[in-house]
Amino acid sequence: MILAQLTVNGRPVSGQVEPRTHLADFLREQLRLTGTHLGCEHGVCGACTVLLDGVPVRSCITLAAACQGAEIQTIEGFDDDPVMGELRQAFSREHGLQCGFCTPGMLIAARDIVLRVPGADEARIRTELAGNLCRCTGYRGIVRAVASVATAERSAAPGAPAVTAAPFAEPAAARAEMARFTVAADRPALAPVAAAAAPASSGEEKGWTTFADSFVIAAAPEPVWRMLADFPLVAACLPGAELTGHDGRTVKGSLRVRLGPISAAFAGSAAIERDEAARTCLVKGAGSDGASRSRTRGELTYRVVPEDGDRSTRVLIDVRYNLQGPLAQFSRSGIALELARRLLADFAANLNARVSPGGQAATVPAARLQAGRLLWSALWAWARGWFRSGKT
C-alpha cells in the first residue's frame, strides 16, 4: 500500500492506496466524492474527467499514487465557479442532459473549452468534446449549451477572435496525465491515515433487496439507544421524513424523496419491537406512493453496540425490503439501494449533530436529498451497469 497525499477541492486529503488504484476509485470510494462517474474505465468515455492541476484528465486511467501533491478538482468543487454556474444553466436550458451520467465529466470538459478557446464555433466544440461520450441526449443540446457560454465569454473579452475548427493536437491533458505516473523520489514523509469504516454489504433475493450497514455516533450506547426511541427526534433527523402519529409501539408518517424528475412520497406505518436488554430493535413497515402507484414493505433491524470503550456507539443496521410498482425498476438497478444508504448517512450525520456540544438544529434539510449529491450517486449504480451492458 502507498499513502497518497493530495489536495481535493481545496482540502488536503490522504489515504492508503494500492499502486494500481486509480484516482476515480480513490475519489469515490475513500472520499465519497461520487460526482465523478465511471463508465468505460478505459479512458474512452470521459465520464470520469476531473481537473488535475487545472488540466482535465481521465481519473479512471490516472493512478492515485501518481497524484502525490497534486491539486484535484472534482465536479463537487465548482459550486462557486461562475463559468461552471453558467454552463449548468445552459445545459438545463438547452436540454444538454438526460440521465446525467456523462454530465459531470462533460461539464468539466466544457468549462475547459470555454476558458481555453472562448468563442469556439460548433465544429471546434465538437472536436474538443470528442472524448466525452453521451448515450442519451445526442450532442446537439450539449454543443448548443457550450457554444452559448463560449460566445458569452468571447463577448466579455472584446477583440478576442472567433475560434474555428483546428487540427487535433496532442492534448495537453494527456501529456500531464502521463507525467503524473512518475512519483518524485524526494517526496516528504506522509501522515498516517485513519482506519476506514467497516464496509457495508448488500445482496438480493427473489424481489427483495437486503443490505447491511453501520454508522458511529459520538455518544455512549445508552443515550443513543434512548435517542432512537424518541420518534419525533428520529423523524427530525431523517431528511424528507414527517411523523404524523406514534404511540410507542407504532409510528405513522411519510418519507418524501426526489431523484431528478422522479418524485415519491411514501406514506405508511411501522410496528416497533425494542429489546431493551439486547439493545436491539425490529421495525416492520409498509407504505405506498399514490403518485407513482408504488408500494414498499420491509424490515429494519438495528443493534446498538459500544465502540471505542463506550465513548461512542456503533449502530448496526440490517435492512430487507421489497419495492413494487413503477419505481421497482430503480430497486432492481440499485438506485433505491443507494438512496437508502444516503438516507442512512444523512441520518447518522444529523444524529451526530444532535449529540455534539450545543448541537440541536444542524440537520440536513430535505432539499439536500433533492439536490445533486444524491442524484448523482444514486444514478451512478444504475448508469454504470447500463453502460457496461452496452444498451443504447
Q: Which grid coordinates are listed for 198?
A: 467497516
Sequence-ordered alpha helix ranges (H) in 117-241: 122-128, 140-156, 172-179, 221-227, 231-237
Report the site for ligand FES in 18-77 (rule: CB under 6 A): 38-41, 43-48, 58, 60
For ligand FES, the closer CB: 101 or 266: 101
- Whichever of 98 and 210 has its CB closer to ligand FES, that residue is 98
Residues 6+ apart with CB under 8 A from 345: 215
If binding means CB under 6 A, how many residues of this protein chain bind ligand FES?
23
Q: Which is nearer to ligand FES, 107 or 237 (CB)?
A: 107
Question: Which residue lies nearer to ligand FES by CB, 7 or 98?
Answer: 98
d(C-alpha 2, C-alpha 17), whole Å: 5
Q: Which is nearer to ligand FES, 41 or 76 (CB)?
A: 41
Binding of ligand FES by 364 (CB under 6 A): no
CB of 270 to ligand FES, least distance (A): 36
Nearer to ligand FES, 321 or 382 (CB): 382
The one segment of 96-104, 119-127, 194-202, 296-304 that binds ligand FES by CB under 6 A: 96-104
Q: For ligand FES, which stretch binds (CB under 6 A), given 95-103, 304-312, 315-323, 370-378?
A: 95-103
Q: Which residue's CB is nearer to ligand FES, number 46 or number 239?
A: 46
Q: Starting from the edge strand earliest in sequence, which strands make up the sheet with 312-324, in order?
A: 201-205, 208-217, 312-324, 294-307, 280-289, 262-275, 250-259, 241-246
| Whole-number Å distance between alpha carbons of 148 and 381 | 32
Q: Is residue 109 part of the contact set for ligand FES (CB under 6 A)?
A: no
Out of 2, 3, 31, 99, name the contact with ligand FES by CB under 6 A: 99
Least Cα distance to 200 among 280, 316, 305 occurs for 316
* Among the listed residues 3, 13, 55, 136, the single contact to ligand FES using CB under 6 A: 136
* Closer by beta carbon to ligand FES, 27 or else 317: 27
Are the C-beta atoms of 211 and 345 separated by less than 8 Å? no
Residue 241 and residue 235 in contact, taking contact as beta carbons nearer than 8 Å: yes
Closest by CA to 337, choosing from 245, 224, 172, 208, is: 208
* Cβ at position 300, least distance to ligand FES in Å: 33
Is 135 a binding residue for ligand FES by CB under 6 A? The answer is: yes
For ligand FES, which stretch binds (CB under 6 A), given 91-99, 244-252, 302-310, 345-353? 91-99
Q: CA-CA distance, 282 to 272, in Å (whole number)? A: 6
Amino acid at 171: P
**Of 130-138, 173-181, 248-256, 344-352, which part binds ligand FES (CB under 6 A)?**
130-138
The binder of ligand FES chosen from 27, 52, 67, 102 (CB under 6 A): 102
- Do residues 48 and 36 make contact, with C-beta atoms less than 8 angstroms apart? yes
Do the Cβ atoms of 13 and 5 come closer than 8 Å? yes
Q: At closest approach, how far in Å is the CB of 26 from ligand FES?
A: 13
Q: Which of residues 293-322 bind ligand FES (CB under 6 A)?
A: none
- Say how far apart CA 97 and CA 125 lie, in whole Å: 16
* Biggest CA pair distance of the chain: 77
Site for ligand FES in 215-244 (CB under 6 A): none
Q: Which of 125/270 has CB closer to ligand FES? A: 125
Strand positions, DSSP E, the chain: 2-8, 11-17, 49-52, 55-58, 71-73, 201-205, 208-217, 241-246, 250-259, 262-275, 280-289, 294-307, 312-324
Q: Which residue has the cell 470528442?
A: 130
* In the complex, minimum distance from the CB of residue 40 to ligand FES, in angstroms, rounded to a whole number: 4
Applying CB under 6 A, which residues contact ligand FES?
38-41, 43-48, 58, 60, 97-103, 134-137
